[in-house]
Structure formats: C-alpha cells, structure tokens
Structure 1
Amino acid sequence: MSSHSSFLAWDIWSEPHIVQWSWIDFMYNPWFCYCENSKRRFIEWLKRKYKDIEELNRAWYRKHRSWEEIVIPRYTSLSSFSDLLDWIQFNIEKIAEDLEWKVNLIKLSDKVHPVSSHCAISSIYSIPGISYGSSDDWILAEKVDIWGTSFYPKHTGPWMPLKPHQMGVALDATRSSCESRGKPFWIGELQTGTGVTGMLFSVPVKEKDVDRWAWLAVSRGAKGINYYAWFPMNCGYEVSEFGLTNPDGGFNERTYSAGRVSKIITENMDMFLNIKPLEAQVAILYDIEAYKLLACLRSQGAEIIRKDIFGIYKAIMRENVEVDFIHISDLNKEKLNNYKIIFAPFPISLTESCANSLKEYVKSGGVLIADGRIAWTNEKGWLTGKIPGFCLDEVFGCVENYMTELREPVDIEIKDFGKIKGVNYISSYTPTSGKVIGSYKDEKVIIENEYFKGKAIMVGTLIGLSIELGFNENIDFILKLLKDSGVYPYFEVKSDSLVEVRCSKSEKEGVFFVFNHSNDEQKIEINFKKELFSFIPKKLVDLKTNEEFILNISEDKFSFSLKIPPEDTRVLKIE
C-alpha cells in the first residue's frame, strides 16, 4: 500500500484514549480496563516505580504481602488516593507506549512515509487516565512524526457548539504540544457535516463553517487538513451525518467550500508551509497534575479548570494576542523566558520541580498569575506544608488562611481598578511580603508581590471561570495585567464587534487571517508597524476573492481597511 503513488502518510491511531466507543447504560461512567492483561501490565509498571512491595505499601498505605495481591483501584478512597494516582499515570503512559509500539511496527516495513496520530480534542479539555480518558498530548507528540487533533466545533454534547475562544484553545493547545516536541501540527479530522450521536443532533454545519474552521487551523500553523468524511456515516451510532457530500454522493455547498480552501492552499503551498504564527508573549500553564487530582477528588470532569482556561484565553483573545500552552514538564529557563506573563489556572497540584521553575521564572523578571489554590498538594496527593505550597509562599508573598465555596457570585474590590467577580471559591490570605490589592468584605483575597526582578499575583478566586460565566468585568482586569506586564499586540484592530485577527509570517511573506464571528457585516481597520515583517510590505491581496487592498503608509506604520460579511473569513496575503 505504501508504494502507491497517492500514498502520503500513516495515521495509525485515531484519537488514542481510553474511551471504549460503547455505552454501558446500566452503569454510571464506568472506568476501564480491569482485565487480567491490564492487571499484569499495571503490576509490571508498579515494579519499575517501586523497588519492592514494602515501598509500595508505604506509598499506598497497604499491607500487601506480594505483588499478586494488588487490586487495581476502581474507586476513590477517603484515606488515600496514591493508588488511584498511580493507576491514572499508568494509563497515560500505557497509551503512549501502545502508540510507540504501533509506530515502530510500521517503520519496520516503511522507513519513508511519516507516521501520524491525533487526539479527539486537546487533553486540556478532559481528565486523563480514567473514564473518557484522554492521555497527554505532549507525551504522545513525542512518539509520532506528526501529531494533531480532531476538530469538531459543531459536534453534539454539552460543550457544543464551540465558541470562538473555545476553538482557539483546542487549536493552540495542540499546536503548543507539537511545537514543544519539534513536530508538525495538523488536523487529523475536520468536521464537514452536521453532528449526530444517537438521537442527539448538532447545530447544522454550513459552508462558511467548513471554510472558517479550516482557516482557523491554518492560522494556528496547521500544515495539513484531513476532512471527516467524504460520505456521511451509513450505519452505527453516528448514522446519516459527518459527511462532506450528500448521502447519495452528490455535492453540496460544503463540498465546494472545502474544495475552494484546498485550491487556495495548493496554489500557495510553499507560502503556507513556510509561514509561522507570531511568537507568543503569553503562556497558560497546563498542569496535568491538577487534572489528575480532580479525578481523585470526584469532580467527574475537568470543567472547572477548562472553563477557567477558556475565560483567561477569551480575555487575551480580545487583544488578538498569541497564546502558548506550556506543560509543567517543559518549564526550563530558556523556554519560560520567552514569556512576559504566565497564567496558572487552578493549579491545585504541582511537583516541587515545577514550583522551583516558576520561582526562578519570577525571580528572573517574569510575571506569574495564579488563581484558585496553587500547590495545595504535591503529585502524590499529599498536602503541602503551606498554601501556596513548596517555595511559592515566598514568591506570592502570602499564606492561605482558608478556602470556601461561594453559593453565588461576589464583588471583589481591586485597588485602583474597580470590581471583579468571584465565583465558585474564594480564598483568604495573610500577606507576608506581598501587598493586598483585592478584598472581599474584610478578607484579603488578591495579593501582589514583587519578587526579585519579577512579580507574582495570587488571585483567591477563579478569574477565568467568571468570564466564562458571563462576567466581562474580569476581562478588563486580565487586560490590565497584560498591559502592566508589557504585553502589547503586534498589530491594532479597530472593530465594533467580535472580529478575530491572526497573523503568520516568513522571511518573504505574511498572511493576515480575519474572522468575523458575528452575525453582522463588520468594517475593520488593521494597523501595524513596519517592524512586524522583515520585508517592506507593498501589496495586500485577498486570496479568496483576488481583491487587492490599499496599504496606507504613515511614518513607520501601515494600515488597511476592509468590510467582511457575517460569519465570513478573509485570507490576506501581504508581500
């Protein structure tokens, strides 16, 4: 098969995770897998981690006499969840090992073609290791030549349809996992037709959706797009939908829309292969240890962290500022120094090495914003001596007094700013070296601390989750944090509504991707300095319409204006 002239690459595992694609309706959210093979492999994994059964007993608070007595954890325990954390980590590593085995098997017979795989959606969206069981994109990206994601913005389910900032999180997180491992990023499956699962039907997919979703991926640096699928599903739980054509194979407007995208990319192939998104000044921490702890705390999902991330990203997206997602295993000094500010959403569990890296980042001049409860436990699920844990009480200049639930949103007064909303939880702190900048009633809930060359701010509520719940006053607070940290957009966008602008460039060319996410026509103006590109811009052409736009020049700035129809996209080549 690989010798065929049309053969491009191997996609050897579609959406590697634990999900069984079966629904056991007499059980609630069952976990997998507890067969003898899984047990045997888990015990071998434990033997590599613990030198003998006594060391495991100390970690698990057990009295096993031999490895054979070990029972795979099937539930959360009141006293300890060290065993469950091990089971989750085992499943993360098992999926990666299985993927690596498949890659090696393919490469035994084909050393020429690249081998790829792709996640169902970024692992930032869900809890790893149990239930639906996403793995860790950063680990999986290491195992293949090309890593990617499925992208179904109008699937069925409670998340759907994805809003613009939620689509951005899915794409930028996957891109970040690929870039961190030096791997190309592509879309393993791009939705082309209306979603259906059983008797649940999604919002209809339109031709402008197929166009916009493709360009959203390309604007994030995707180097390939695989559409799912040509024909609609003809049987099974997703019967009748997810197709680019009609059931009889006839073409429709979505078919032609995908064809037009393909034509533009093919005609400008070298340019799209060479351009890259602008460098990010901002990073959001992917703290997988916090996700694992949520599983042990019976949260039933990653919603609290996911929505906190959504809100933070939405605020940053308002300024069309690039965002990277950074894994806690990647916190080396060289990488961290690329960012002026790092957000750590609800980082309730950390490793000591991660805490030390964040400390050095702030010490060297970075700005760290944490919300919720940072380093409540270590990676073993054990309580740290203080909260913030490890060395981070010094960095944030405070110690937590308590954390309590909020039954309704509250107003937090910010010094020299105004009010923001607190939701779900609120924490009270005793400042040590930090100063109070936010209070709720008489409680000190936001602490700012100058630490050597940098600054750390401990926010005792979930600032991003508040935004996701509709409290937009928190957006202005995050934008103030960006400005105070020296983060400024590479270009200015003037518009009355929700218009997203992305820019990618190479040494010789650049592209502005303009997305009108609103239901109304928008008139926008984009201004940028000549330093944005390494060449002098002379020409601006819409690759979709071949319309040429006038570039206005004023001193060291360039500007141009355009109108964009509702829900439409512009792909503007600049050279």
Structure 2
Amino acid sequence: MARVIQYWGLSSYPKHSTPVGLDPVSHGARLDFARSAAYRFSDGFVLGEFQTGFGTVGLRVSVPVTSGDLTQWTWSALARGAKGLNFYAFYPMNSGYESGGFGLIHLDGRITERAEVLGSIAKTVGSHGELFLKARPPKAQVAIMYNPLAYMVGGPRRLPLPGAQDEYDGVERDSWTGMYRALFSQNIPIDYIHADDVAENGITGYKLLYVPYPIMMSEGTAKAIARFVQEGGYAVIEARAAWNDQRGYAAPTIPGFGLDQVFGAHETVVTPVQRTSLIVKSKNPAIPMLAPGARLPGMIYREALETLGQGQVVAAFEDGSPAMAASTYGKGKTLYLGSYLGLAYERTKDAQLEHFFEGLLDWAGIDRPVSASAGIEVRYLEGPGYTLHFVLNGAEKETPAEVRLHCSFAAPVVRDLVTGETVSYQQEGERLALRKSLPPQGAWVLEIRERGR
C-alpha cells in the first residue's frame, strides 16, 4: 500500500481497550514497521489517529492513559521520522459503544495534565519545525523480512492438543517481533522489508537479513535471498523455509527453491513440539557470544538437518540430530535454524537467546552508533549538518541515563531542544558521553551540530 500513496501511516492505540497496553518494545516495533514501509517509497509517515485518553469498547475499559504515556508515545514516533501526528481526540466520544473514551480533556470540558503536556510537546516541535521536517532516519544495516504469505499456511487454528505443537494466535506476529525485541537494547535501526518488494527489487544496503517463520515463500523472494548472500550479505533463516510456494505447493526439498544450497543444509525429519532445545556443540563465528553447551529454546517444530557442501553443524537437538547449520555461499555467510527462535524469544525472553541475537550483530559487522545504560532507549534522525537524538525512559520510575553518541563533527555543540540550554558532555574519541536522570517515561531531546553553524 505504501508504494501507491503519498504518505502512508497507521492508527496507534497503545492502550486501546485492554487491561495491559503495549510496552515500549511492541510500540516501537509497530512504529518501525510503519517507518520501513513509508520511507521505502516516500518521505515520511503519519499517524492518522493517535490515542490521547483511556479507551472504551462496550464494557471493556483500558487502563488509564497518563501524561507520561503521551510523552513516551509522541517522542517515540517523532524519533522514527513521523511527519504528521493526528491525536484522537480532543473531546471524548460522547455516545455509542466508545462513549466516554479516547478524549484529551474531560467530558465536562476541564483541561487535563495530558492536554497540557501534549501542548508543550507541540510547542517544542512547532518552534523547531524545520529541524524535524528535514531530518531523516538513518539507514539500517539490519533487516527482518515481513512475509504475509506465512498467514496462508495452516488454515483455521485449532486449540493445542497435549503433546502437540502450539498453534495459537499471533505466531506470525511474534515471530516477526522476536528478534526486534532481543536487539531493542542495542539501539540500532532495524528495517522490516516486505517479501514482495524483495522479490521485485532485491535486497540492497543491508549487512544482515533475518527471515523468521518462512514456511511459505515465492520463488522470486527465495532467489533474492540467494543473490543477497552471494553478493556478500549475512542471512539467517528459520525452520521449514519455503516449505510451500505461493500457490501452496510443497517443495521437493526443504528449504525450497535451492535455498538448501545457499544455507548448506536440508531437512531430514520434522517433529511437532511445544518446546525444544538447540544445544550449542562448538564455537562458531556465527554465534560468538555462545559457548558449547548453551541451550537455546525453540518452538513449534524440531527440524532435523543434514549438512551439504560447506555446511557445518553448530547446534543439535537433545536427541543429537543437527539443529543449526552455518555455511558460506558466494561472498556471504548463512545460518540455518531448525526451529523458530524469534517466536521463542518473544514468548520466553530467554537470556541465552538474547545473546544469540546480539552475537549476530558481531558476526555480520553491524555498526553500533549509540550505546545507553540499562532501561534507556536512544533513537536518532539525521539532518543537513545536524542530528536529533531522542533519549527515552520507558520505565514508570526515574532512571539514570548514560549515553554515548557517535559524532563526526569536529567541534560539536549539544542543545536541549525542550529547554534551549546547552548541554555539557565528555568527548571520548568520536563519541560524546552525556548523563542525566530522566523522570518516569521522560524524554531528553538533543540537537547536535558543528560549533558556529
């Protein structure tokens, strides 16, 4: 859709009508999904409706929306290059099944703290409008493939049977967000790329590609993955890749469309499971943060592998069958996973899996232009002769922020956009070290530019 309209966007209701709202990672993934689509084909994205007050749907009522929520949500969207935010609504819904909800002020007209905070943010953005309009998100080096064909496999979902694999709602979504969540604390830009766009235009500009839950795939997409690796890219793909083509026909070899040659392995036996473990057998450059014996959780399938060509077994299942294979193809490198590790991380938050995903960045040589203390998110935009950095505290408690920002300016000046004050820093090579204690769900918005410009 983004390719045929001028400005693509979405509605965002992080606390629509549920007892628990979206956490900063889930909200960030949705914003980065929109950013990836919009900036691929145009010059920004919009939020057509952005929640301002607690939600109601019939008898269901969300948890309260706070001024801290609006601070966090608004700056998170702007930090990803949103060019239009339409807040819904100033006055609450006064009738119907959403009666009383989604308002920035009270039904009796009283102004809320939320309205005052949002107005203050609007003044800051408005007074620096050119900075925000001209700034763009940095180019990502990491891509996660979004493949809507995955929804086509399996038909209606049954309730899970004891001992069988889990087949519950959200397996596709959770597969696509698992790696994103695992790398959220690394504060690197991550793109979502559409499988159809990949098939048509190829994969360019990235160092690392992760292909989660790839059970249905077009031949064009598979060939694009092969070209990406052949030309020097690093690719990781999960179990039963290209099991079905876009017509629903099964591949004679899995992974299909020749991807077995690209990834140096093919399937021998697949077993349905609720949970499984992939046990690291030996050190390998593809998993630099994992030692032999480390156990990685997998879900849905246990796909036993046989290596081909230059393929090397990296991990095995508990029965000893190969579970992970590393290989080379052309100028690039690959890693094949015999289960669904993205899904497993989204649902277990396993520490070893987090190390696995972080290690992929080192394997592929991914730059880390910013670093931050625990619990602090940093995103940035690049403008002509300046950068905008957004230091965000997603926690509902005061959190000390210590950040190190890459800066190529010879004599940089740092300014707090909200207060207008100059911010002191320590120079550490090409990085600027800054410290500040952020209030609950607080934001620190910084402009960095060359002194005198």
Using structure 2 for the length normalisation, give the TM-score. 0.90
1:506 aligns with 2:383: yes
1:541 aligns with 2:415: yes
Overall identity of the aligned pairs, in %: 32
Give the aligned partner of residue 260 of structure 1: 120
Alignment gaps of 5+ in structure 1: 1-139
Residue 437 of structure 2 is aligned with which of 554, 557, 563?
563
Residue 429 of structure 1 is aligned with which of 305, 309, 320?
305
Question: What CA deviation, in whole Å up to 9, does each residue of 1:193-221 have, x standing for no partner?
Answer: 01121111112100011111111111111
Give the aligned partner of residue 4 of structure 1: none
Give the aligned partner of residue 454 of structure 1: 332
* Paired AA for residue 213 in structure 1: W
Q: Residues 387 and 555 from structure 1, CA distance in 2 versus in 1: closer, same or farther, beyond 3 angstroms?
A: closer
Distance 1:397 1:141 in 2: 35
Question: What CA deviation, in whole Å up to 9, does each residue of 1:430-481 have, x standing for no partner?
Answer: 1112110011121111111111111111111111222112223201101101
Q: Residues 168 and 181 from structure 1, CA distance in 2 versus in 1: closer, same or farther, beyond 3 angstroms?
A: same
Deviation for aligned residue 1:528? 3.2
Q: Residues 382 and 347 from structure 1, CA distance in 2 versus in 1: closer, same or farther, beyond 3 angstroms?
A: same
Residue 324 of structure 1 is aligned with which of 178, 191, 194?
191
Distance 2:401 2:202 in 1: 35
Distance 2:314 2:106 in 1: 58
Give the aligned partner of residue 366 of structure 2: 487
Distance 2:200 2:3 in 1: 21
Distance 1:334 1:555 in 2: 39
Q: Could you say which structure has the greater relative contact order, defined with CA pairs below 8 angstroms and 6 or more residues apart? A: 2
Question: What CA deviation, in whole Å up to 9, does each residue of 1:103-150 have, x standing for no partner?
Answer: xxxxxxxxxxxxxxxxxxxxxxxxxxxxxxxxxxxxx22332211111
1:64-463 residue pairs with structure 2 within 5 A?
A: 140-157=1-18, 160-295=20-155, 303-331=170-198, 336-410=203-277, 412-416=279-283, 417=290, 418-433=294-309, 434-441=311-318, 442-463=320-341
Say if 1:436 and 1:446, in contact at 8 Å, map to a contact too: yes
Give the aligned partner of residue 35 of structure 1: none
Q: Residues 326 and 477 from structure 1, CA distance in 2 versus in 1: closer, same or farther, beyond 3 angstroms?
A: same
Alignment gaps of 5+ in structure 2: 160-166, 284-289
* Paired AA for residue 308 in structure 2: T
Distance 1:255 1:519 in 2: 19
Distance 2:121 2:220 in 1: 45
Q: Residues 170 and 280 from structure 1, CA distance in 2 versus in 1: closer, same or farther, beyond 3 angstroms?
A: same
Deviation for aligned residue 1:410? 3.2
Distance 2:415 2:191 in 1: 29
SS of residue paired to 1:310: helix
Distance 1:555 1:210 in 2: 36
Give the aligned partner of residue 527 of structure 1: 404
Say if 1:278 and 1:503, in contact at 8 Å, map to a contact too: yes
SS of residue paired to 2:153: helix
Q: Residues 509 and 302 from structure 1, CA distance in 2 versus in 1: closer, same or farther, beyond 3 angstroms?
A: farther
Q: Residues 555 and 445 from structure 1, CA distance in 2 versus in 1: closer, same or farther, beyond 3 angstroms?
A: closer
Deviation for aligned residue 1:249? 2.2
SS of residue paired to 1:240: coil
Question: What CA deviation, in whole Å up to 9, does each residue of 1:281-324 have, x standing for no partner?
Answer: 10010111112335467799761121122221011212101001
Deviation for aligned residue 1:277? 1.5
Deviation for aligned residue 1:411? 5.2
SS of residue paired to 2:186: coil
Q: Residues 268 and 295 from structure 1, CA distance in 2 versus in 1: closer, same or farther, beyond 3 angstroms?
A: farther
* Paired AA for residue 147 in structure 2: D
Say if 2:276 and 2:302, in contact at 8 Å, map to a contact too: no
Say if 2:212 and 2:238, in contact at 8 Å, map to a contact too: yes
Question: What CA deviation, in whole Å up to 9, does each residue of 1:167-211 have, x standing for no partner?
Answer: 111111111111222243011111000112111111210001111
Q: Residues 169 and 302 from structure 1, CA distance in 2 versus in 1: closer, same or farther, beyond 3 angstroms?
A: farther
Question: What CA deviation, in whole Å up to 9, does each residue of 1:44-94 have, x standing for no partner?
Answer: xxxxxxxxxxxxxxxxxxxxxxxxxxxxxxxxxxxxxxxxxxxxxxxxxxx
Q: Residues 182 and 382 from structure 1, CA distance in 2 versus in 1: closer, same or farther, beyond 3 angstroms?
A: same
Q: Which has the higher helix share?
A: 1
Aligned residues: 430
Q: Which has the higher strand share?
A: 2
Distance 1:257 1:225 in 2: 15
Q: Which moved more, 1:265-274 or 1:514-523?
A: 514-523
Q: Residues 183 and 504 from structure 1, CA distance in 2 versus in 1: closer, same or farther, beyond 3 angstroms?
A: closer
Using structure 1 for the length normalisation, give the TM-score. 0.72
Deviation for aligned residue 1:329? 2.0
Distance 1:396 1:309 in 2: 20
1:476 aligns with 2:355: yes
Distance 1:196 1:183 in 2: 34
Q: Which moved more, 1:519-528 or 1:478-487?
A: 519-528
Deviation for aligned residue 1:525? 2.2
Q: Which moved more, 1:408-417 or 1:277-286?
A: 408-417
Give the aligned partner of residue 17 of structure 1: none
SS of residue paired to 1:464: helix
Deviation for aligned residue 1:546? 3.5
Question: What CA deviation, in whole Å up to 9, does each residue of 1:467-519 have, x standing for no partner?
Answer: 112223201101101111101211222x1x32110011112221110111123
* Paired AA for residue 56 in structure 2: V
Distance 1:481 1:398 in 2: 19
Deviation for aligned residue 1:555? 3.9
Say if 1:372 and 1:427, in contact at 8 Å, map to a contact too: yes
Deviation for aligned residue 1:355? 0.6
Say if 2:276 and 2:317, in contact at 8 Å, map to a contact too: no
